[in-house]
């Protein structure tokens, strides 16, 4: 279809690129009362961008051949009102090898998903728990082409399994959500990892506090909590915000801003992860980008549009989504692991708080890095050992300040969706414990 779309605009525009994405998702959920819901969804989306008279126009549609004239007509209309921009589309280049599809995941049917969800359900089930599990697989394709000769396609698959576990009658913690995902079907060890994580989060009794913990304490964030904690850092390194906007890191390329133990990369070439891809949605070849190198700001992410506005090359981080203009986004975020295992980090912490998961609440500002995050899964640690679960914990402070001087970085880097993150020990954070 890409060829037909580009042919339809040939000679009428200075340049054009097009993208077609298809997806076929099958998902199955087992409710706590045993009800199974099976759903399938087939989607197809086409995106067209044209450069005409120095202006850029965008359109998107459902991607059928019959819709090509409408897609083209709307892109032309959009260009007449669009942004004036010197946008240079990429030329063909060697495409890196990256695993994005597993035949097993692509072939999984409802019975196989039912088996996965049921296995996890049985492993998590306890008399005092309400457990809901789900399993999902999707298979699809991405094709991107432009008027300068790029024409690339790749197949993708994604599979995941997860659970929402509620502990009945123990305090007021919210349901505990865990999941594992990748391009292949989850393995038994991965599911056992989820079971262990749920046990680790739910099993400790509520801490017996004779007095409230101090308001400023060292805090050890487990990988799932790190994923939430780093949201302001992700925003500060990405797109318009980083290159032209009000990111606190703007203009600090090469400066030592953070602790030397912190290194962050964006890695689209990691095999079989949710953000893995050989080429971005603009047709720019994917490559690993160092964002923070031993505490120094090493790079920012751009797509063709933001790159043109900021007069820097695209890093291959363009994404297109239905009913929205192109956007810049990360692929797979990796924080490089440190030398200490979790037990060592807890020992180094002395008396402090271990947080397994954080919730991005109403009180946080992703731009300034000021946060007020609820920590429903927080534990009091003394002498390197978990003493009990804490309820009503709020973590507040500034993410950028906290990352300036770390207590340590763990060796336990774990994939959580499209991020591979280790535990991080923060030297001191403001902790408010209501109960």
Partner 1 sequence: MKDRLFDALGRSRAGYTELRVRRIWSTSVLVRDRSVESASTASETGGVARCCSPGTGWGLAGFSGTERLDTPALQAHELSLAGASRQPVVLAPIPVREHDSAATIPDDPREVPLTEKRQQAESLAALLTACDRRIASTRVLCRDEVVETWLATSEGSWLHEVRAEVGAAVLAVAEEGGNVERALGSVRVRGGWQDGAPGSEALVERVAIRSVERLHATPVRSGRYTVVLDRGATGALVHRAVTHLARPSLPGADPDVLPLGMRIGPECVTVGDDPTALGLSASGVSDDEGTEGRRTIIIQNGVVVGHLHSRETAAAGKQAPTGHARAGSLRGAPYPRASNSFLAQGQGTLEDLLQGISLGIYLIDALACESSGDQIALRAGGARMIRHGRLAEPVKGVQITGGLLPLLGRVDAVAGDFAWDTSGARCRDGAAGVVAVTTGAPHLRLVDVAIGEGIS
164 binds partner 1 (CB under 8 A): yes
Six-digit token string for 364: 């946080």
Six-digit token string for 91: 């030329």
Which residue lies nearer to partner 1 by CB, 79 or 292?
79
Which of 138, 241, 276, 364 forms a contact with partner 1 (CB under 8 A)? 364
Q: How far is the CB of 273 from partner 1 (least distance, A)?
A: 23
> Strands 216-221, 352-359: parallel, antiparallel or unpaired by DSSP?
parallel
| Beta carbons within 10 angstroms of residue 383's beta carbon | 10
78 binds partner 1 (CB under 8 A): yes
69 binds partner 1 (CB under 8 A): no
Closest CA to 109 of 28, 186, 189: 28
Total residues at the site for partner 1 (CB under 8 A)?
74
Q: How far is the CB of 402 from partner 1 (least distance, A)?
A: 15
Which of 28, 142, 265, 421 forms a contact with partner 1 (CB under 8 A)? 28
Which of 67, 190, 405, 428 forms a contact with partner 1 (CB under 8 A)? 67
Give strand pairing partners of 144: 19, 152
SS3 of residue 395 by DSSP: strand
Q: Is 188 exposed, middle or buried (0-12, 13-18, 19+ CB in 10 A)?
A: exposed
Which residue lies nearer to partner 1 by CB, 70 or 192?
70
SS3 of residue 318 by DSSP: strand
Q: How far is the CB of 56 from partner 1 (least distance, A)?
A: 8
Which residue lies nearer to partner 1 by CB, 46 or 144?
46
Q: Got the DSSP string for 146-214?
A: ETTS-EEEEEEEEEEEEEEEEETTSTTPPPEEEEEEESSPPPHHHHHHHHHHHHHHHSSPBP--SSPPP
39 binds partner 1 (CB under 8 A): yes
Beta strands in 31-173 (DSSP E): 36-52, 55-61, 129-146, 151-167
- Hey, which residues between 381 and 400 contact partner 1 (CB under 8 A)? 392, 394, 396
Spell out, one character per residue from 411 to 430, where the chain touches partner 1: x when CB under 8 A holds, - when not. -------------------x
276 binds partner 1 (CB under 8 A): no
Which of 188, 196, 312, 367 forms a contact with partner 1 (CB under 8 A)? 367
Which of 69, 363, 383, 384 forms a contact with partner 1 (CB under 8 A)? 363
Contact region for partner 1 (CB under 8 A) — 77-85, 95-103, 289-297, 348-356? Answer: 77-85
> Strands 327-328, 151-167: parallel, antiparallel or unpaired by DSSP?
unpaired
Six-digit token string for 426: 């923060």
374 binds partner 1 (CB under 8 A): yes
Closest CA to 403 of 378, 377, 424: 424
Closest CA to 399 of 222, 236, 216: 236
Six-digit token string for 99: 């695993």
Spell out, one character per residue from 286 to 305, where the chain touches partner 1: x when CB under 8 A holds, - when not. --------------------
Radius of gyration of the chain (CA): 24
62 binds partner 1 (CB under 8 A): yes
119 binds partner 1 (CB under 8 A): no
Please state, in angstroms and as integers, the Cα–Cα distance from residue 45 to each residue in 22, 42, 138, 141, 144, following that order: 7, 10, 15, 11, 12
312 binds partner 1 (CB under 8 A): no
d(CA 366, CA 296): 20
Torsion sign (Cα): 231, 232, 233, 236: positive
Contact region for partner 1 (CB under 8 A) — 60-68, 229-237, 401-409, 417-425? Answer: 60-68
Give strand pairing partners of 68: none
Spell out, one character per residue from 321 to 360, where the chain touches partner 1: x when CB under 8 A holds, - when not. -xxxxx--------------------------------x-
366 binds partner 1 (CB under 8 A): no
Contact region for partner 1 (CB under 8 A) — 38-46, 141-149, 191-199, 346-354? Answer: 38-46
Which of 57, 145, 186, 369 forms a contact with partner 1 (CB under 8 A)? 57
376 binds partner 1 (CB under 8 A): yes
Q: How far is the CB of 295 from partner 1 (least distance, A)?
A: 25
Contact region for partner 1 (CB under 8 A) — 7-15, 172-180, 183-191, 219-227? Answer: 172-180
Q: Is 205 exposed, middle or buried (0-12, 13-18, 19+ CB in 10 A)?
A: exposed
Which of 96, 193, 204, 361 forms a contact with partner 1 (CB under 8 A)? 361
Which residue lies nearer to partner 1 by CB, 32 or 92?
32
Which residue lies nearer to partner 1 by CB, 88 or 360?
360
């Amino acid at each position: 279809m890409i060829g037909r779309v580009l042919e339809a605009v040939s000679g009428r525009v200075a340049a054009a690129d097009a993208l077609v994405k298809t997806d076929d998702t099958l998902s199955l959920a087992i409710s706590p009362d045993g009800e199974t819901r099976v759903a399938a969804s087939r989607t197809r989306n086409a995106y067209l961008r044209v450069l005409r008279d120095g202006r850029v126009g965008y359109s998107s549609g459902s991607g059928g051949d019959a819709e090509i004239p409408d897609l083209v007509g709307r892109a032309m209309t959009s260009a007449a009102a669009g942004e004036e921009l010197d946008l240079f589309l990429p030329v063909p280049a060697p495409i890196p090898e990256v695993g994005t599809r597993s035949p097993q995941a692509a072939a999984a049917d409802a019975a196989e998903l039912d088996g996965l969800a049921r296995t996890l359900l049985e492993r998590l089930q306890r008399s005092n728990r309400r457990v809901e599990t789900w399993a999902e697989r999707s298979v699809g394709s991405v094709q991107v082409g432009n008027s300068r000769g790029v024409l690339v396609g790749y197949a993708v698959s994604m599979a995941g399994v997860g659970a929402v576990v509620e502990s009945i009658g123990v305090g007021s913690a919210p349901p505990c959500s865990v999941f594992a995902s990748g391009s292949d079907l989850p393995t038994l060890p991965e599911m056992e990892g989820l079971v262990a994580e749920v046990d680790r989060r739910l099993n400790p009794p509520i801490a017996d506090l004779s007095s409230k913990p101090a308001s400023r304490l060292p805090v050890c964030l487990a990988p799932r909590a790190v994923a939430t904690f780093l949201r302001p850092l992700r925003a500060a390194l990405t797109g318009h915000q980083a290159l032209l906007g009000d990111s606190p890191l703007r203009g600090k390329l090469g400066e030592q801003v953070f602790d030397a133990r912190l290194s962050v990369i964006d890695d689209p070439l990691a095999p079989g992860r949710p953000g893995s891809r050989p080429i971005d949605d603009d047709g720019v070849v994917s490559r690993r980008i160092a964002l923070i190198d031993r505490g120094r700001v090493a790079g920012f992410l751009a797509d063709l549009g933001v790159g043109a506005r900021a007069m820097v090359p695209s890093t291959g981080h363009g994404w297109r989504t239905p009913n929205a203009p192109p956007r810049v986004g990360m692929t797979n975020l990796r924080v490089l692991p440190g030398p200490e295992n979790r037990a060592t980090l807890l020992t180094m912490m002395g008396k402090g708080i271990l947080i397994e998961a954080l919730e991005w609440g109403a009180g946080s500002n992703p731009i300034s890095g000021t946060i007020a995050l609820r920590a429903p899964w927080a534990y009091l640690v003394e002498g390197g050992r978990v003493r009990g679960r804490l309820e009503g914990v709020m973590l507040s402070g500034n993410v950028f300040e906290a990352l300036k001087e770390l207590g340590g970085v763990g060796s336990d880097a774990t994939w959580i969706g499209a991020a591979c993150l280790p535990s991080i020990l923060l030297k001191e954070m403001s902790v408010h414990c209501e109960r």
